[in-house]
């Protein structure tokens, strides 16, 4: 569970507009179903890429994505190699981390290393890990999450401020 500091690009990176990244496993505490529901509330030009294992307790998010007609908005990649993961950290607009319970929140650290702004749950250890470098939301309030996403997506200045704070 580490990343290669030598692969971190310090030169300006061309980020895709309106592209969110979720990195983690598909367990109830990760709150992925909540995030899919929020995606249904957002404009269709905002995209979400989900990277991580579809463990044995798979909550069948693909079925939910289909049922909500989000197949053009949400993509699930499963487990990817390091090169692909790094590429997504380097090209997404922001990491979204809606977890209800975390012991640490490693993707927040990775995102900071790749100068990727973070929108995170205000629960558990996440505010302690992200400090002032994240935009926080209530992980049980879909409207709050939606508003934070739109706030960050529509403000290049806020994106720069969060990166600078990291």
CB 152 within 8 A of CB 116: no
Predicted local confidence at residue 134, as pLDDT: 86
Rounded to whole angstroms, the Cα distance separating 25 from 125 reads 17
pLDDT tens-digit profile of 89-146? 989 999 999 988 776 767 888 888 888 999 999 887 776 776 777 889 999 999 999 9
pLDDT number for residue 59: 67
DSSP state of 16: P
Write out the E strands in the chain.
Answer: 19-23, 47-51, 74-78, 94-97, 118-121, 134-137
| pLDDT over 90 at 155, yes or no | yes
Indicate whether 153 pLDDT > 90.
yes
pLDDT score recorded for residue 93: 94
User: How do residues 56-87 score in pLDDT, each as one tens digit?
Assistant: 455 688 888 999 999 999 999 989 998 899 88
The pLDDT assigned to 147 comes to: 97
Q: What pLDDT, on the 0 to 100 scale, is given for residue 113?
A: 84
For the chain, percent of residues with pLDDT exceeding 70 = 86
Per cent of the chain over pLDDT 90 is: 45
């Amino acid at each position: 569970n580490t990343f290669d500091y030598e692969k971190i690009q310090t030169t300006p990176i061309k980020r895709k507009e309106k592209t969110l990244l979720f990195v983690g496993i598909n367990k109830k505490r990760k709150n992925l179903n909540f995030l899919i529901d929020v995606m249904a509330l957002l404009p269709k030009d905002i995209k979400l890429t989900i990277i991580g294992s579809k463990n044995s307790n798979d909550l069948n998010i693909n079925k939910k994505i289909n049922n909500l007609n989000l197949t053009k908005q949400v993509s699930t990649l499963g487990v990817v190699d390091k090169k692909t993961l790094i590429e997504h950290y380097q090209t997404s607009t922001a990491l979204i981390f809606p977890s209800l319970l975390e012991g640490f929140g490693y993707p927040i650290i990775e995102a900071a290393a790749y100068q990727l702004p973070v929108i995170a749950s205000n629960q558990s250890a996440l505010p302690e890990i992200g400090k002032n470098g994240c935009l926080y939301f209530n992980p049980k309030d879909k409207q709050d999450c939606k508003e934070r996403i739109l706030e960050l997506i529509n403000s290049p200045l806020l994106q720069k401020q969060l990166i600078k704070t990291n």
